Amino acid sequence: MKTFDPSQLHVLQLDPTRHARVLGAPGSGKTLMLVEMFAMLTERPGWGDESVLVMARNRLVAHSLRQQVERRIARAIGGTPVRTAGSTAFSILQRAAALRGEQAVRLLTGTAQDEAASLAVEELLEGRLTLEHPLPFVPEVLRSQSFRSELRELGRVIDDFGLTPAELTAMLRTYESHTSPGAPSADLQSIWLAASELFGRIRETCLHAHPQELSASSLLRAASEVVKHDLEIRVPQLVLVDDAGELGEGALALLAALAQRGTKIWVFGDPDIATSAFQGERVQALAGLHQQLQRRGVKFRQNEPPEQVVVLEQVHRQDARLRTLVQSLTGRIGAAGAGQQRRAVAAENKFESSLVQFVRATSSAEQLGVIAHRLRKRHLGVTGEARLAWRRMAVVCRTRGEATRVARLLAANQVPTDIAAGGIVLREHQLVRELVRLLQHALAIDPLQPRENNDLLGGHIGGVDPIAMRRLRGALRLRELRLAAAAERPVEATDGLVCEAFEYAGSQPIVDMWAARRLRDLGRLAAAGSAEHAAGATPREVLWQLWQGSGLAEQLQTQALDSKGAKADEAHRALDAVLGLFFALQRHEEQDSDRPIAELLDELLGSAVPQDTLAHRSERDVVTVGTAQSMIGREFDLVCVLGLQESIWPNLRTRGSLLGVTALERWLRGEAATLPSRRDTLHDELRLFAHAVSRARSELLVVAIANEDQQPSAFFSLGRDYLVSQPLPSSRFTLRGATAEARRRLVRDPADLDALHTLVLLARAGVPGADPDDWYGVMPPSTEAPLVDFAAQPEAKVSVSPSQLERAEQCPLNWFIMKLGAGTTDYRAGLGTLIHHALETVEPPITAERIFESVTARWSGLQFDAEWQEQRALADAKAMANAVADYMRQFAHSSSTLVASEAEFQVEIEAALLRGFADRLELSHTAEGDRHITVVDLKTGKTKPSAKELAQHAQLQAYQLGVLKGAFVDSDGQAVTGDQVSAKLIYVHPGTLTKTQLKQNEHFTEFAQDGLTEQAQAEFEQRVATVAQVMAAGSFTAFVEHHCENVNVQGRACQLHIIPAVSHA
């Protein structure tokens, strides 16, 4: 049998035929009293289940309250005992439509409103919509999510006060000349006029596209009108409003309409922990219910007794320590006409039973580590305390984005989590995006592009990792080169080959490898979806075909049920998101089938508005992660709070500052048209913090980051009495975490016997990473053999390329990595290859047009990450074609002749075999009749050599040495010799031209290297021999300061490999 304190008994003795206010601090039993009143009143003579209605803040709270009511009554209940304000409005409108024989209205989703707002903004920017009063914002602001959100808020305010956009415009125009105190400024009036006109256009769009749908605020407004004027609609005798501090104007209007019909209103709540200021200012029903109802049109009799008021005096959720902290926070908030509830004291007047800690962390990683350690420690009960179920713990963040990030990171630390911060944003889930794109392809709405085939193959549905993707593309490229050579046709781009294999998936993969078989399966899946659509299936049935055919349903279900940590959490979220997608298509079929499916799918891919879905989500034992707003009506044994950082919490940025929606709401309420002050915003933020703290039953942990970049906010200092001076443990409280900690201790102190014995036990239990044989860096290298073993093969030679010579000198490690093919290239390298190919193959006369034509003929072989890159590359190609043609034109008008092109040479120098190709060898004669050979190297890059670098340029010196040694041959097979030898670089990239060259209409830049002297030749040969020894070695030095970490050096493949391993001692 339940026992109640004296103030709670007072609530149970209130008269249900009068209005009432029940004020209570968090945990004082307000919801308990509400449930008791429902149970008690429905058993009274003349009262029934439908005589009392409980109104909750949101659907989750309503669900929880409904369960409490059902448990308390323990019998079948007629009707729906607990509803939200929106659900109440919807049921009223449904009843009214049924009585009139009309079609019932439906809820217009926030996503649809956002889409209509985007269309109206685009019409405005394109000139198809003209406003009488222009909006003073740049296009970037008008297209922003913030602006569209404020437009929706403007619509809410218009609905809440029973107006239309046209009526608001008329009000503002008649008020333009008023200058009374509290009147809106001329700028505000102008913005409201323009925004009201724009919102009128949005509403017209919604009415045309969704004729039977109303927004949430329009539902409340329409229901209020029905209750006022349709007496056939039955109303409850009593409405019990939970968390009435969250009531807005729309819900108050509905309550006022019910009160006008005789319904009595009881409000329960605490204005100190209202969390919905971002959705408009809350009404002050907890400060004066009669006054607020009267303001919304309720006419009370002259002898009407005053509203009943009860203030709950004891807090049963928290002990004295936690209650004192909450009191200290709420005591700093403006009372808003109701402050008596702050005097409530803890029923358990003890300070020892709860734990409150405020702690600083030096980094985000440590912050998450501290929280994860505490959550796992309490769940495992390792300190002798009772084990705490995951569902009895929560983490509260300031924003939804932070909650999402924290949930994922905690899951990686083997803390199962669920996000309780609004609905699901479907486009945030890669699997949903892939399914939608496959569905668009199958429905012939928007066929997949070649690059999207790659993305799907490497995504959730394809399941091919980047290494396998690279191997597949390489195999396809090699196959295409062979086929193109045999057919004497141009080589197709690899993306096109992937696309062809996707579109024409046969019984056999295009090449015999696993990734190709996955590509074939993906093509078959898309084809099956298209066939299902052609057979007349609905979009939802086609989606089911794609989902079943992907094989992910069973795979994700297994991961969700059998895996642990991040893998299980990701599987649960993916399944929830897919259910949300199916529900969106189901809602389209049942409620909005006239709307083109293409619009819905585009909306799902483009909208950042959370989808409010009725689809069942996975139910499991998890830690709840969310914002303070998502914790309404909930309590937890352990609550962790993070985000108390400067400029984050409190966030003092004025809300609704673009359109001044709050000022409009205040003005329509009869107050001064002012935006929220800094003090108002600060108090709203403090309410959120107080609400978060008040959710804790026995343990509170507040963690903030303190380092050079981030500092705890002023809110953190409010817990100075609970500050922990020593850092809390942040190691992962898992077997892997224990293993890592023991290894770290043992490496630091080999005499640490506790760590040694811990590792022995863990290794015997088979915990990964515990056995020293598995430790990275402990086992000897698999081989230390050199690349070229001169001891075993004294006559062996090391192949040295002129282009690689300087790379090996600059950083041996970088050369070795690049030799293994681990380096990265982009389209610029490919473009250079095309320019060289054109120079070699274009027949005279060589013109810019013919060179550019040669380049574009092989253009499909280049890979670009974005369209702008391709456009820039085309412009560069044209400029370089002009430069090459200009050089060739000047050469043709000179007395020089071409001796050889793309000429190969090789020279032995001790253990080195210097070999390579020179672009051109040109012969000229001096005045004395000497033969002068000039080696020409074409460069397509932008990095020009300095005078010092040019004198020692290894590539040019190698070419000169090749001529001097007679290693080059001409077209007749004769050795190329000359009395004099030199070399030069021809830069054809437009980025190498100086301003003077541009003014003189020059197209290329020339850098000449003088001929090698005997001393220079000897030095270079020694240089080649030295590099050969470097290249033949079994280990390679990293020049960290001058190369690997030098941001001014290009092509640093070694940069990643100099980072020490985690286990590096």
DSSP line for 302-325: TTPPPPEEEE--EESSS-HHHHHH
Boundary residue ending a domain (142, 175, 209): 209
> CA-CA distance, 427 to 606, in Å (whole number)?
7
Cα dist from 864 to 480, 494, 824, 871, whole Å: 19, 12, 14, 10
What pLDDT, on a 0 to 100 scale, did the predictor assign at position 983? 94
> CA-CA distance, 470 to 724, in Å (whole number)?
52
Residue 881 included in any domain: yes
Residues 6+ apart with CB under 8 A from 378: 385, 387, 388, 393, 638, 699
Residues 6+ apart with CB under 8 A from 293: 19, 252, 255, 256, 259, 265, 300
Judge contact between 533 and 442, C-beta under 8 A. yes
Whose tokens are 């890059």? That residue is 941
Mean confidence (pLDDT) of the chain: 85
The domain spanning residue 499 has which CATH number?
A: 1.10.486
Q: Are residues 503 and 601 in the same domain?
A: yes
Q: Are residues 226 and 307 in the same domain?
A: yes
Peptide bond into 650 cis (omega under 30): yes
Q: Are residues 928 and 1002 in the same domain?
A: yes
What pLDDT, on a 0 to 100 scale, did the predictor assign at position 810? 86
- Here the tokens at position 522 are 């993906």
- Here the tokens at position 480 are 């295409």
What pLDDT, on a 0 to 100 scale, did the predictor assign at position 985? 94
What pLDDT, on a 0 to 100 scale, did the predictor assign at position 1065? 45
Boundary residue ending a domain (312, 345, 374): 312
Q: Are residues 790 and 861 in the same domain?
A: no
What pLDDT, on a 0 to 100 scale, did the predictor assign at position 422? 55
What pLDDT, on a 0 to 100 scale, did the predictor assign at position 608? 59
Residue 752 included in any domain: yes
What pLDDT, on a 0 to 100 scale, did the predictor assign at position 33? 92
Residue 690 included in any domain: yes
Q: Are residues 119 and 221 in the same domain?
A: no
Cα dist from 191 to 160, 169, 195, 668, whole Å: 19, 11, 6, 16
Q: Which domain holds residue 119?
A: 109-209
Residue 345 included in any domain: no
What pLDDT, on a 0 to 100 scale, did the predictor assign at position 881? 93
Q: Are residues 580 and 696 in the same domain?
A: no
Q: Are residues 793 and 918 in the same domain?
A: yes
> CA-CA distance, 370 to 392, in Å (whole number)?
18
> CA-CA distance, 694 to 153, in Å (whole number)?
29
Cα dist from 646 to 368, 597, 688, 705, whole Å: 18, 45, 16, 10
Amino acid in the structure at residue 495: D
Burial 176-203 (b: 16+ CB within 10 A, else e): eeeeeeebbeeebbbbbbbbbbbbbbbb
Q: Are residues 442 and 549 in the same domain?
A: yes
The angle at the Cα of 326, spanning 321 to 329, to the nearest 5 degrees, equals: 130
Residues of the chain where predicted confidence (pLDDT) is lower than 70: 1, 176-181, 276-282, 335-339, 349-352, 383-384, 421-425, 427, 504-507, 563-566, 569, 590-595, 607-619, 731-733, 776-779, 821-825, 1060-1065
- Here the tokens at position 462 are 């394809």
What pLDDT, on a 0 to 100 scale, did the predictor assign at position 614? 47
Whose tokens are 């909208």? That residue is 607
Q: Are residues 796 and 832 in the same domain?
A: no
Residue 751 phi, psi dihedral angles, 5° rounding: -90, 5
What angle separates helix 145-160 from helix 216-229, to the nearest 10 degrees? 10
Closest-CA residue to 490 (of 856, 829, 851, 873): 856
Cα end-to-end span (Å), the chain? 63
Boundary residue ending a domain (851, 868, 893): 893
Closest-CA residue to 899 (of 947, 832, 954, 970): 970
Judge contact between 945 and 1006, C-beta under 8 A. no
What pLDDT, on a 0 to 100 scale, did the predictor assign at position 345? 86
Cα dist from 944 to 3, 820, 833, 926, 941, whole Å: 87, 27, 19, 29, 8
Residue 334 included in any domain: no
Amino acid in the structure at residue 314: Q
What pLDDT, on a 0 to 100 scale, did the predictor assign at position 16? 92
**What is the pairing mode between strands 931-939 and 912-925?**
antiparallel
What pLDDT, on a 0 to 100 scale, did the predictor assign at position 75? 84
> CA-CA distance, 478 to 470, in Å (whole number)?
12
Judge contact between 696 and 355, C-beta under 8 A. no
Judge contact between 1037 and 813, C-beta under 8 A. yes
> CA-CA distance, 334 to 679, in Å (whole number)?
9
The domain spanning residue 793 has which CATH number?
A: 3.90.320
Cα dist from 389 to 637, 732, 734, whole Å: 10, 18, 16
What letter would DSSP give residue 980?
Answer: E
Domains held by the chain: number: 7
Residue 949 included in any domain: yes
> CA-CA distance, 857 to 1013, in Å (whole number)?
44
Judge contact between 265 and 259, C-beta under 8 A. yes
Cα dist from 163 to 159, 160, 170, 205, 295, whole Å: 6, 8, 10, 18, 16
Rounded to whole angstroms, the maximal C-alpha distance in the chain is 129
Residues 6+ apart with CB under 8 A from 970: 899, 900, 921, 976
Q: Are residues 601 and 457 in the same domain?
A: yes
Residue 318 included in any domain: no
> CA-CA distance, 53 to 50, in Å (whole number)?
7
Residue 1054 included in any domain: no
Q: Are residues 931 and 962 in the same domain?
A: yes
Q: Are residues 547 and 470 in the same domain?
A: yes
- Here the tokens at position 820 are 């293994």
What pLDDT, on a 0 to 100 scale, did the predictor assign at position 739? 84
Closest-CA residue to 848 (of 1008, 990, 995, 993): 990
What pLDDT, on a 0 to 100 scale, did the predictor assign at position 592? 63
**836 Rama sector, left if φ>0, alpha if ψ -120 to 50, beta otherwise:** alpha
What pLDDT, on a 0 to 100 scale, did the predictor assign at position 824? 61
What pLDDT, on a 0 to 100 scale, did the predictor assign at position 696? 94
